[in-house]
Structure 1
């Protein structure tokens, strides 16, 4: 056995966040719960007002976006009419209040879906970075 063979590292197993949280079923529950909270909590009225009456289409888009963003099937990105996530939010006045409302919905959804605390903390950081980028005011 050579020195390099004796010090070689064990193969690394990479798990995507999509797989870590439970795949398609959990991502679907997360998107559904996110919009249930948005639709029923009066404390997030500002972001609810940015959406149409029927949340089903945007709920599906969030599911598809999160699927690919978390490392699963890139459903949103395979849509012929998909938009850059930044340009899709550009028409809206998004400030700190709207960002915080969005984050509150996502944090509650992650908690309600039973994501482990460590996973929620990692995703929370990523969601917060994304939500900060969407701010326009």
Structure 2
């Protein structure tokens, strides 16, 4: 008997790869830049969001199981250390998590169970960055 074994699909693959990650990130930063309810979060960023779009897309790609280029570009960094000292508040963490959840929902088609799991994990991560 010859049983075929297949490698489990990563979240990166299930999402649709880099194209979908970039769509999520671009929608996220469009929301942060344009929607008044994210103004405090927007104030934490430079005027040019281009570098942040690139960085977040790279990090999300690696986080979801895709290419790990972000870690090569940012040796010794992690998301927690990259945000240490920025004064992330409960409010800005909530704004980040809400904008990201919206971006994921609006960047489909993404399987709802995967979208919900991704949003939930990123919500936890954002709130773990709150400066005490």
The question of a shared fold, defined as TM-score above 0.5 by the shorter chain, is answered with yes
Query: CA offset at residue 68 of structure 1?
Result: 0.4
Distance 1:124 1:90 in 2: 22
Gaps of 5+ in 2: none
1:59/1:122 CA distance change after superposition, 3 Å: same
Query: CA offset at residue 55 of structure 1?
Result: 0.2
Greater displacement, 84-93 / 42-51: 84-93
Greater displacement, 91-100 / 79-88: 79-88
1:80/1:106 CA distance change after superposition, 3 Å: closer
TM-score, normalised by the number of residues in structure 2: 0.90
Q: Contact 1:76 / 1:82 at 8 angstroms: preserved in 2?
A: no
Q: How many residues get paired? A: 130
| Match 2:13 to one of 10, 19, 44 | 19
Distance 2:14 2:77 in 1: 27
TM-score, normalised by the number of residues in structure 1: 0.87
SS class of match (2:59): helix
| Match 2:127 to one of 116, 126, 132 | 132
Structure number with greater Rg is: 1
Greater displacement, 43-52 / 126-135: 126-135
Distance 1:75 1:65 in 2: 8
Deviations 1:66-95 (A, max 9, x none): 110000001110115562221110121112
| Moved >2 Å (runs of 4+) | 9-13, 80-84
Tell me which residue corresponds to 2:73: 79
Distance 1:12 1:136 in 2: 43
